[in-house]
Structure 1
């Protein structure tokens, strides 16, 4: 029963805490880190409101301290995927029928719990499980996830207000229904906020969800699941399971009630999913919604008018925050010849000041990459550059996995603009520079546009307005998030809706109304107050 139209105004972004020396948040976070390390967790799956333990325990180690065990999670199998789907479908009718304000307040309460009671526990879990420093965890697992929850409530309330016009004697209305079936959310390791947003944005719209996080993000995912339960999320609305990809796909993509997938991960995996869904399309009750944000080979191009310090800072932060493991991280840079020497000298000097180590030492700017597979892949690119005449390493290039998966921030310079590390996604702390003729800016823009199949983020650095205008136009399709005089990372919910096209995904813009439309199925209802009683129209009469 609706008893009123309830307002959910545009929220303010959650303030970012500084964790500066002497601040209470720094003490609280240090205490949360210590507490988490003292108590190993036994992490179950969450299916239909019940905790499920399989006995197949998988150890969780901090990437920066692989000798320490944070706990274990219980890995599932095919039957658990089926159980999760059954639990979701069982919960569907009651969840879809719940009033909008009832659903909205669950997620607003979750945001409030995250902002207060669980802020430091969530940040500590992200720091330890995914090797993020305090600032990177704060802007991700606290602020961005809080913003996703609050802004999505506002956005959805605005969508629900959108109604068609009515003419005399007729009333039209639009119903914004959830999809018919269940939504599959597949989330990555690198952002706790993405891990929370992909299942909740669909659930907020009245959908039920099967959520599979990356194994390397389970430690923080389970904290958020507990927050949702404490906020009042009904059993079965979101079901958290830990299974391998092939098993998940086998069950979900062949199920009649598969209604959509919300995905962030690799382009290759997404392409294979799309193919499988297409092959199975005749099985489904409805055409599934396929929403994905995938890879990136993100660029920075500096114009000859660019300020050296601005360029260096954009590269240092854009390439090496969170060890370059952001989909948006600066990975290829085009530097004009007139400032190249100054940029390289200062960038090398700045990188040499970066401390690398564990997350507990807040003085460390760089921590570890996520796991051994990633470590080995990144190391191969670095080793290749060491041996190739087309490349030279300006700084970094060392790595070790004795204590954790540590790779130094590494800058490669190449004379070949199509060199391997200028083209392929590395997903690590490796930046490749190409120096171009300062008078060939326009030609270099075309090179930027054509080098990579991806189109996620990019930035132009210039003090010349004409150059900025030219770059904005030429690179219109090269990046879904484009930055002027800034690094290509750090999208804020409500300010820079995030997503890219080409090989980077479907560009459905997380953190905006655009994404929520994908989890809704509109129905138009026309009511006629005075229905006609004769088929004959006036034009049929001759006189």
Structure 2
């Protein structure tokens, strides 16, 4: 053991590059994008640090150019999952005992690689496989990805530096062990940074991990894994397992060595995993830690004193950035009747700047939705609204999957506050607006609170401080991330720790010390000097 005491590692957010069309940074990024687009990537499993080609493969296509196949990935079987568990448990023997600074240095090196020589490749892969614009990719797969690595290192150093009180005759000290077993990290398609954070946060704390990436983001996630390998990640610490949940989920979730789940995805999936753990609770060597961020039906509420310009920008960006495929995206809005005509006029004018198309074009605001399944689900909601007597589509509503999975930004106006698109998560570029009488502000706050089973994000727009205070009080349980006069999206690591309660998850706050505490198990040692 090294003679070293934990000292807090300082953290500051990674600077986001502001691209211009003629800048060297943008030209270099697009050169990398075109290079990746013309290559064919074959993605194996990584088990115990070794590549495994199962022969059971799935094509990877570009969402905004859905006839273009850019690679294929191999799918894990039940036997592969069992082998990965075996290799992870074997790797734990050395990894869990490694000095904390040696572990953390690997991920700090990964942060340096992501901020520097790997930046364009990470961003280009995210643009290509997840249809993010250069702007959205830079925020996600560069800045936020680096932030997670550096912030978690800083938070972990704070945890290790936390020690109990001593007396004149007693010396107390505390160590923070990794969990005994393995962590199952199940990652989403929409944020490359989250895909990195879910396996690496537990690993940084000394845990070993089985990482199941989303089938729609295997491409960029494999690039992330390759970067971690270059940073010096030892074999078996994180095992990369693309595969179908029905095939590999059962042997992983029922294994006696399951120590935790780090999950971002649908509420239904997390509930199923929770249920499986409950049914097998007597089989485990330890009680598994369940950490999940799930669905949302995020609101924007305007008071009659709201600044219309701020409100309109929040509705546009909050609902339609990255095609509305953010857990935090604005999906329902409550607007006073007295200001609706002014809001609508300004909103429609602002929406003219929203260009839908290929992310290869510099001025594109919205790319394509992620895949055919998402396209079908979202357009079904639009069709439902078109056929309903209780709603009308007042903006957009068009879509086509001929060249890519493109859906125009769609705004629905409804007379029913419990209309289907006001209550159900859509996860696409659809915003539903309900108009209320100005004197029913408190009633609409109560309505917004009780309408959705979720509790992820929400925004209130008002100039009146009493109105803001009332909303903050009445909506206390409605959003884990609550915003005042700003859109309900765009949480920054270290500034707005992210997560919600109710059916939006366990609210362990990604990018905060709350989350890192979930991956350690304290051990207190008391030594008495006088008998």
TM-score range, shorter chain: over 0.9
> CA-to-partner distance for each residue in 1:229-270, whole Å, 9 max, x for gaps?
111111000000111112222101111100010000000011
Instruction: Show the counterpart of 1:159.
Output: 159
What is the CA–CA distance in structure 2 between the aligned matches of 1:163 and 1:141, rounded to whole Å? 35
What is the CA–CA distance in structure 2 between the aligned matches of 1:478 and 1:248, rounded to whole Å? 35
In the TM superposition, 1:295-306 aligns within 5 A as 295-306=295-306
- Aligned with 2:160: secondary structure? helix
Alignment of 1:456 with 2:456, yes or no, is yes
Contact 1:414-1:434 within 8 A present in 2 as well: yes
Alignment of 1:138 with 2:138, yes or no, is yes
Alignment of 1:58 with 2:62, yes or no, is no
- How far 1:8 sits from its partner (Å)? 4.3
Contact 2:76-2:248 within 8 A present in 1 as well: no
Instruction: Show the counterpart of 1:270.
Output: 270
Change (3 A) 1:10 1:438: farther
What is the CA–CA distance in structure 2 between the aligned matches of 1:32 and 1:5, rounded to whole Å? 42
> CA-to-partner distance for each residue in 1:267-289, whole Å, 9 max, x for gaps?
00111110110010000001000
What is the CA–CA distance in structure 2 between the aligned matches of 1:466 and 1:204, rounded to whole Å? 45
- Aligned with 1:392: secondary structure? strand
- Structure with higher Rg: it is 1
Instruction: Show the counterpart of 2:485.
Output: 485
Contact 1:67-1:403 within 8 A present in 2 as well: yes
What is the CA–CA distance in structure 1 between the aligned matches of 2:304 and 2:510, rounded to whole Å? 34
- How far 1:316 sits from its partner (Å)? 0.1
In the TM superposition, 1:213-228 aligns within 5 A as 213-228=213-228
Instruction: Show the counterpart of 1:529.
Output: 529
> CA-to-partner distance for each residue in 1:446-486, whole Å, 9 max, x for gaps?
00100000000000011111111111110010000000000
- Aligned with 1:13: secondary structure? coil
Alignment of 1:13 with 2:13, yes or no, is yes
Contact 1:188-1:194 within 8 A present in 2 as well: yes
What is the CA–CA distance in structure 1 between the aligned matches of 2:161 and 2:350, rounded to whole Å? 51
What is the CA–CA distance in structure 2 between the aligned matches of 1:425 and 1:374, rounded to whole Å? 12
- How far 1:93 sits from its partner (Å)? 1.2
Instruction: Show the counterpart of 1:534.
Output: none
Instruction: Show the counterpart of 2:348.
Output: 348
What is the CA–CA distance in structure 2 between the aligned matches of 1:506 and 1:306, rounded to whole Å? 32
Instruction: Show the counterpart of 2:82.
Output: 82
What is the CA–CA distance in structure 2 between the aligned matches of 1:436 and 1:10, rounded to whole Å? 48
- How far 1:338 sits from its partner (Å)? 1.7
> CA-to-partner distance for each residue in 1:119-143, whole Å, 9 max, x for gaps?
0100000011011001111111111
Q: How many residues align?
A: 531
- Aligned with 2:67: secondary structure? coil
- Aligned with 2:138: secondary structure? helix
- How far 1:518 sits from its partner (Å)? 0.5
- How far 1:349 sits from its partner (Å)? 2.5
Contact 1:348-1:394 within 8 A present in 2 as well: no
- How far 1:44 sits from its partner (Å)? 1.0
What is the CA–CA distance in structure 1 between the aligned matches of 2:386 and 2:420, rounded to whole Å? 13
- Aligned with 1:69: secondary structure? strand
- How far 1:342 sits from its partner (Å)? 1.0
- Aligned with 1:42: secondary structure? strand
Instruction: Show the counterpart of 1:360.
Output: 360
- Aligned with 2:470: secondary structure? helix
- How far 1:7 sits from its partner (Å)? 3.6
Contact 2:308-2:343 within 8 A present in 1 as well: yes
Instruction: Show the counterpart of 1:291.
Output: 291
Instruction: Show the counterpart of 1:30.
Output: 30
- How far 1:20 sits from its partner (Å)? 1.3
What is the CA–CA distance in structure 2 between the aligned matches of 1:349 and 1:394, rounded to whole Å? 13
> CA-to-partner distance for each residue in 1:509-533, whole Å, 9 max, x for gaps?
00000001111111111111123xx
What is the CA–CA distance in structure 1 between the aligned matches of 2:243 and 2:281, rounded to whole Å? 23
- How far 1:35 sits from its partner (Å)? 0.5
Instruction: Show the counterpart of 1:475.
Output: 475
Contact 2:8-2:161 within 8 A present in 1 as well: no
Instruction: Show the counterpart of 2:514.
Output: 514
What is the CA–CA distance in structure 1 between the aligned matches of 2:54 and 2:9, rounded to whole Å? 44
Scaled by the length of structure 1, the TM-score of the pair is 0.97
- Aligned with 2:68: secondary structure? coil
What is the CA–CA distance in structure 1 between the aligned matches of 2:349 and 2:174, rounded to whole Å? 59
What is the CA–CA distance in structure 2 between the aligned matches of 1:5 and 1:178, rounded to whole Å? 18
Instruction: Show the counterpart of 2:421.
Output: 421
What is the CA–CA distance in structure 2 between the aligned matches of 1:203 and 1:9, rounded to whole Å? 18
- Aligned with 2:256: secondary structure? coil
What is the CA–CA distance in structure 2 between the aligned matches of 1:326 and 1:460, rounded to whole Å? 19
Instruction: Show the counterpart of 1:116.
Output: 116
Instruction: Show the counterpart of 1:378.
Output: 378
Alignment of 1:97 with 2:108, yes or no, is no
Q: RMSD of the alignment, in Å?
A: 0.9
Scaled by the length of structure 2, the TM-score of the pair is 0.99
Contact 2:7-2:158 within 8 A present in 1 as well: no
What is the CA–CA distance in structure 2 between the aligned matches of 1:368 and 1:76, rounded to whole Å? 28
> CA-to-partner distance for each residue in 1:55-79, whole Å, 9 max, x for gaps?
2221110111011111111111111
Change (3 A) 1:6 1:521: closer
Alignment of 1:335 with 2:338, yes or no, is no
Bigger CA drift: 166-175 or 430-439? 166-175
Instruction: Show the counterpart of 1:183.
Output: 183
> CA-to-partner distance for each residue in 1:149-203, whole Å, 9 max, x for gaps?
0010000000111111012211111110000000000000011011000000000
> CA-to-partner distance for each residue in 1:274-332, whole Å, 9 max, x for gaps?
01100100000010000000000000001100111111100000000000000000000
- Aligned with 2:333: secondary structure? strand
Contact 1:456-1:479 within 8 A present in 2 as well: yes
What is the CA–CA distance in structure 1 between the aligned matches of 2:498 and 2:91, rounded to whole Å? 31
- Aligned with 1:346: secondary structure? helix
> CA-to-partner distance for each residue in 1:7-55, whole Å, 9 max, x for gaps?
4433210000111122221011111111001111111111111111112
Which ranges in structure 2 are unaligned for 5 or more consecutive residues? Answer: none
- Aligned with 2:471: secondary structure? helix
Instruction: Show the counterpart of 1:535.
Output: none
Contact 2:132-2:359 within 8 A present in 1 as well: yes
